[in-house]
Amino acid sequence: MDSSRFLSASVTELKPSGIRKFFDLAASMEGVISLGVGEPDFVTSWSVREACILSLEKGHTAYSANAGLMELREEISFYLDRKFHVNYEAEREILVTVGASQALDLALRTIINPGDEVIIPEPCFVAYGPLVKLAGGIPVYVSSNSNNGFKTLPGQIEKAITQNTKAVLICSPSNPTGSMLSRKDFEKISNIIKQHDLLAISDEIYAELSYDEEFTSLASLEGMRERTITISGFSKGFAMTGWRLGFAAAPAPLLQAMLKIHQYSMMCAPTMSQHAALEALRNGEEDVQRMKTDYRRRRNYFVRSLNEAGFPCQTPGGAFYAFPSIEYSGLSSEEFAEQLLLEEKVAVVPGIVFGSSGEGFVRCSYASSLSQLEEALKRMASFMKRRQHAGAQWKTLQDF
Amino acid sequence: MKLNEKETEVLEILEENSRLSIDSIAKMAGISFEETEQIIHKLEREKVIIDYAATIDWRKVEGHEGVTAMIDVKVAPKRGVGFDEIAERVYRFKEVQSVYLMSGAYDLSVVIEGRSMSEVARFVSEKLSTLDSVLSTTTHFILKKYKHDGRIFETGEEDKRMVVTP
């Protein structure tokens, strides 16, 4: 019997992540230098790990409240106010989730009716579109390009709005491009969102990793708090990926609706991770700044070296990704990533997996040691030289 | 000496890894090669950068298992020069790695490195203790170094991440 006939239509239609396919190939090889990782190379700060151990020693192994430990929600509320100037009430407007991914899933499932459209600027995180579809909605992608630093233009968002549009999902700093929207960019976008009476979902998971200008939280802009669901978590800024701890902040009617789904599906986030997160928020600022300084230096080094090696790349304002062009190789981004992996054992992620406007680019994470980056750059440069050489021969042959 | 932002940045990068090339430092700090070179020369000239040293785990090198001892020294300070004169006499010995003036139960903390325990013992009994101002010494031998100058010796810090993640 073919058990696949039991699958739901929405899951059957869902394509596997483009990264997953590439991951299988990379995982089968040894000695690969990886620029394919979307996570910090720092281990979670010792004081945070130690706080978790202490919580276990004290026997804090039971469920927490559905919305999360009250003292953690209070701490998140202080944190959002202190750092990003947005004010959320701990008791009714903050929800602790299993990673920012779950917060995003909850937000989409809470607001989408079948057929509702969600506008998503791309290239974007691979999960956005599938999560909208799983919630019964339709993702409407708005492309951006390198000429404007992969920033979504407000006009493009406006053009994509139809009577079915429910929300706009924005991520800044962006995965995969690292591009960052300025306060002015956000103001323009928020005006459109307000004019058309839409909701905003703001994925702020990389907020702590903005290097050149101050991060703007969408909900801090005038008139946006009541129509924004803010999503964030501890994975990136606090180097806590494996702890699976995120949070959502939104006006009470939205947040309480999200809580309903959360209490039936997840119950609560892991209690020990919540205790660790408490320590991270209370005493982790210095570690966050130390890691951020390190990423900024690596970004400067990596992006300048990429440009020197023949990979045109804009300086990303945040996150830990560079998104260089591989156009001169004459290969598609998938071909480039696959051949680079097979010939030089360097793993990068093809830009196409983040949306059609990612074609011609690859995502490189610079959350790796400087010596690894140096070696990867050397290999990428030698790969590119060979390609250019091959390209030149091809051109000569065409001339005949 | 007041340093500007770029000079401080270069110093921090060098403190982390003094073997980096000027080119790499320039890229990391986001400034030109020439400017980086000038900053480093200036800081060397002004003795802000005192030396470029490596942290070495000598236990791993055959025939180089040295001995490190920390010695608490009580001294009688002299009028006019306080502890400075005796400190200078102590730090000039090549066996002495560092000398600190301390608050509390003793005055100078002296770190000695020698090839063997007997060599360190000989230094303490023959050279350090016999100095005029030295009243007493207490020697502590270091049995194992776990962390030194901010560096963890046995790191085991291999990358545990997957090769590709979303």
**A39/B161 CB distance under 8 A:** yes
Do B138 and B66 lie in one domain? The reply is yes
What residues make up the domain containing B65?
58-144
Do B103 and B127 lie in one domain? The reply is yes
**B164/A347 CB distance under 8 A:** yes
3-state secondary structure of A111: helix
Q: Is the pLDDT of residue A392 over 60?
A: no
Q: Are A62 and A392 in contact (CB under 8 A)?
A: no
Do B69 and B136 lie in one domain? The reply is yes
**Nearest-CB residue to B24 (from A126, A127, A301):** A301
Residues of B in contact with A39 (CB under 8 A): 161, 165
Question: What mean pLDDT value characterizes chain B?
Answer: 92
Do B40 and B76 lie in one domain? The reply is no
- pLDDT (mean) for A205-231: 97
Do B66 and B26 lie in one domain? The reply is no
**Nearest-CB residue to B165 (from A38, A300, A368):** A38
pLDDT of residue A334: 93
pLDDT of residue B156: 66
Do B71 and B127 lie in one domain? The reply is yes
**Nearest-CB residue to A304 (from B27, B159, B163):** B27
Q: Are A152 and A189 in contact (CB under 8 A)?
A: yes
Residues counted in chain A: 400
3-state secondary structure of B157: coil
Q: How many other CB atoms are found less than 10 A from the CB of residue A351?
A: 28
**A347/B163 CB distance under 8 A:** yes
Q: Is the pLDDT of residue A398 over 70?
A: no
- pLDDT (mean) for A315-324: 97
What is the per-residue pLDDT across B73-108, written as a single tens digit (0 to 9) for each? 999 988 888 899 999 999 999 999 999 999 999 999
Is B158 domain-assigned? no
Residues of B in contact with A341 (CB under 8 A): none
Q: Is the pLDDT of residue A89 over 50?
A: yes
pLDDT of residue A394: 43
**B165/A32 CB distance under 8 A:** no
pLDDT of residue A397: 34
Q: Are A180 and A323 in contact (CB under 8 A)?
A: no
What residue ranges do the domains of chain A occupy? 7-43+286-387, 46-284
**B28/A301 CB distance under 8 A:** yes
Is B53 domain-assigned? no
Q: Is the pLDDT of residue A395 over 70?
A: no
**A34/B164 CB distance under 8 A:** yes
Do B25 and B71 lie in one domain? The reply is no
R_g (Cα) of chain A, nearest Å: 22
Question: Total structural domains in chain B?
Answer: 2
Min distance B142 CA to chain A CA atoms (Å): 25
Is B72 domain-assigned? yes
Q: Indicate the pLDDT class of residue B155, thresholds 50, 70 and 90.
A: low
Q: Is the pLDDT of residue B157 over 80?
A: no
Residues of A in contact with B161 (CB under 8 A): 34, 37, 39, 41
Do B68 and B37 lie in one domain? The reply is no
Is B36 domain-assigned? yes
Tell me the ipTM for this assembly. Answer: 0.81
**A37/B161 CB distance under 8 A:** yes
Q: Is the pLDDT of residue A389 over 50?
A: yes
CATH number of the domain within which B132 lies: 3.30.70.920
Is B124 domain-assigned? yes
Least confident interval from A7-11, A97-101, A351-355, B148-152: B148-152
Q: Are A377 and A324 in contact (CB under 8 A)?
A: no
Choosing among B10, B155, B164, which should be mutated to test the A contact, i.e. which has the most A CBs within 10 A? Answer: B164
Do B21 and B66 lie in one domain? The reply is no
Is B31 domain-assigned? yes
What pTM, to 2 d.p., does this model score?
A: 0.90
Residues of B in contact with A19 (CB under 8 A): 164-166
Is B154 domain-assigned? no
What's the CA gap between A248 and A109, in Å, rounded?
13
pLDDT of residue B166: 66
Question: What mean pLDDT value characterizes chain A?
Answer: 94
The topology under which CATH files domain A46-284 is Aspartate Aminotransferase; domain 2 (3.40.640)
Q: Indicate the pLDDT class of residue A145, thresholds 50, 70 and 90.
A: confident
Q: Is the pLDDT of residue A234 over 60?
A: yes
Q: What is the CATH code for A7-43+286-387?
A: 3.90.1150.10
| A·B CB contacts under 8 A | 63
Is B156 domain-assigned? no
